[in-house]
Structure 1
Amino acid sequence: MKKVLVFGSMNMDLCVSCAEAPQAGETVQGHDFFTNPGGKGGNQATAAARLGAPTVMLGCVGQDAFGAELLQTLTASGVDCSQVVRGVQPTGVAVITRTGAENRIAVSGGANLELTGQQAARLVVENAPDGGFFLAQNECGSAAVQAALCTAKQQGLYTLLNPAPARELSQDVFDSTDLLVVNETECAFYTGVCPETPLACGGAFARLHASGCRSVVITLGEKGSLYSGAEGTFFQPCVPAPQTVDTTGAGDTFIGALAAELLRGGTVRQAMVFAAQAAALTVARVGAQQAIPTRAEVQRYLTGHREKSTTL
């Protein structure tokens, strides 16, 4: 059976809201504290599963209460967590300060950084689905991400990489990536080009293709997203959201939805439309994984809100 194999981070998000973000040395009064399962790997796996894809999670959490809760929540969303390692380090955490619809985040990787490249590669080999998809980010150790991605490519999987947070990547990683998904900040890091105009996006695409990436998606938040690759070059508008409450999980929802729709046999253009629809519902809710909609919710809400892609 075709599946989405996700290698990535799992964190417990510790969230607090405040009127203004504290400055250095300052304490401010917060409110509405809550904990929420997160981490880019866990978020994207949750999105892929809720949006219709059989999904397997690979990674590492601690042998603590946070780790147990993360696995329980992922499993409840339909993610197969049987291959997640219980390590010796504490489970990763993210401390999130929310001011309005914006947020500031500090992450402690913990168990996410525990797996070696050899361990990561072995997990991929043992779980690689025939004709499936592989999805990774940059919140785990560099050696582990590289080994997992390159092994997935060798195993014949279609590979998607979301290099967030941005850091230096080896040529092997670029060569092993079928679809690279970057936001504006990551795009600027890897190309030196801030994708603010169609011309700038064209220059960024050219540099990423020259690096070895066959297909690239640049996400521009509320401005939409762009694609360049085998299916041509086109722009996908953002889909109207019912309201904007919290942008924390929007990017991860977009990527998980992209993988889910591609696994179903959709074109990249179709997948980007669906991903934009899913992200629109996510920003209307508070939190990361708890804000991610199901496929049925996306289809119900967005009747009459469908946007058509336009060619650049």
Structure 2
Amino acid sequence: MKIAVVGSYGAGLTMRVPKAPSAGETVSGGLFDSGAGGKGSNQAIGAARLGAEVSLLTAVGDDEFGRSARELWQREGVSADHVVTAQAPTMVGFILVEPSGENRIAIAPGALDELDAAAVDAFRAEIASADVLVVSMEIPEEAVVAALRAGRETGTRTLLNPAPARPLPDACWPLIDVLTPNQTEAPVLLGLGDRHGLGDEELAEALRARTGGVVVITRGGAGALVAQDSGTSTVPPHPAPAVVDTTGAGDSFTAAFAVALAEGRPVDQAAEFAAVAGSHTVSIPGVVPALPTRAQLNALIGNAS
């Protein structure tokens, strides 16, 4: 099975703090760590660890962060032949993690702003040969639309993980086969405010009406909601032994979901498999260290996969 990923890479600079500082407040006692991040890279590594052949399109700077990224992808077995070396520095994300495991993230996109339709066009053969194309939205809208259009034109199943969420251009909607927002992202995609008053099922159906495909709303510790032609169903959560760090959970879910779809699993079963991956990830600090291998997931689900 082969997966093509179009998305971001960034260095994650993480500080675990006793509490998140208020405006103007300085909080001491933090623990600092740095590591690889970016939704596209995380998803590519997550899929590779689960046994997929993965090609990644992103952009990095000609700097130490960019060189470290290429070394990481080589170690993890992710093909980075088409990754762009940009003029700007590699993306950096600053992450504050509270004792509860909740996180706050600020991002300087840098090199990612240079990822354009021409870069996607050079990646077109990889998209065409993939079973599933995974696209996330820490990259310019031009690249998002170009990637989804390339997937549609080459007959590859398209999966959009709409994070960070923003209203989608009308041209995007018919290009999406599978959409995987969380509960916060779903109303943003529809252009709704905080007081929209819609439940998850109504949001999922509204999104599905626009794409005509599958919508999976992830709900953290409450599992997921799946809307497809056959109706709407719920995916129960897989209990995590402890919630330590939620930072990479969505990327882990997306990677596992894409792998399961590429293997030909039905959508409901793919979402259940992905929920186990997300549960594993929140129980381990950091992002890349928390992305599970196939053996780790098999152990969690009793080799049922």
TM over 0.5: yes
With over 3 angstroms needed to count, the CA separation of the structure-2 counterparts of 1:97 and 1:115, relative to structure 1, is same
Q: Which structure 1 segments of 5+ residues have no match?
A: 307-312
SS at match of 2:30: strand
With over 3 angstroms needed to count, the CA separation of the structure-2 counterparts of 1:182 and 1:17, relative to structure 1, is same
With over 3 angstroms needed to count, the CA separation of the structure-2 counterparts of 1:85 and 1:91, relative to structure 1, is same
**Contact 1:180–1:213, Cα closer than 8 Å, also in 2:** no
With over 3 angstroms needed to count, the CA separation of the structure-2 counterparts of 1:87 and 1:171, relative to structure 1, is same
Shift of 1:209: 2.2
- In the comparison of the two structures, how many residue pairs are matched? 302
SS at match of 1:278: helix
With over 3 angstroms needed to count, the CA separation of the structure-2 counterparts of 1:105 and 1:169, relative to structure 1, is same
Letter in 2 for 1:293: P
Following the alignment from structure 1 to structure 2, what is the Cα–Cα distance between the partners of residues 110 and 245? 29
List aligned pairs for 1:124-273, cutoff 5 A. Answer: 124-130=123-129, 132-191=131-190, 192=192, 200-273=199-272
Please, what TM-score do these two structures have when normalized by structure 2?
A: 0.94
Shift of 1:151: 1.4
Following the alignment from structure 2 to structure 1, what is the Cα–Cα distance between the partners of residues 112 and 15? 23
Question: Structure 1 residues 40-49 or 67-76, which shifts more?
Answer: 67-76
Following the alignment from structure 1 to structure 2, what is the Cα–Cα distance between the partners of residues 284 and 139? 25
Letter in 2 for 1:123: A
- Equivalence for 1:118: 118
Question: Structure 1 residues 182-191 or 70-79, which shifts more?
Answer: 70-79
Letter in 2 for 1:112: L
Aligned structure 1 segments of 4 or more residues deviating by more than 4 angstroms: 193-197
Shift of 1:165: 0.9
**Residues 121-162 of structure 1: CA deviation (Å, up to 9, x unaligned):** x13323224352111111001111111111121111100001
Shift of 1:226: 0.7
Following the alignment from structure 2 to structure 1, what is the Cα–Cα distance between the partners of residues 161 and 256? 13
Following the alignment from structure 2 to structure 1, what is the Cα–Cα distance between the partners of residues 160 and 122? 17
**Contact 1:12–1:39, Cα closer than 8 Å, also in 2:** yes
Following the alignment from structure 1 to structure 2, what is the Cα–Cα distance between the partners of residues 263 and 187? 24
**Contact 2:14–2:32, Cα closer than 8 Å, also in 1:** yes
SS at match of 1:239: coil
Following the alignment from structure 1 to structure 2, what is the Cα–Cα distance between the partners of residues 29 and 9? 31
Following the alignment from structure 1 to structure 2, what is the Cα–Cα distance between the partners of residues 182 and 150? 20
**Contact 1:242–1:284, Cα closer than 8 Å, also in 2:** yes
Root-mean-square deviation over aligned CA pairs: 2.0
Q: Which structure 2 segments of 5+ residues have no match?
A: none
Following the alignment from structure 2 to structure 1, what is the Cα–Cα distance between the partners of residues 71 and 15? 23
SS at match of 2:242: coil
Please, what TM-score do these two structures have when normalized by structure 1?
A: 0.92
Shift of 1:301: 2.8
| Percent identity over paired residues | 38
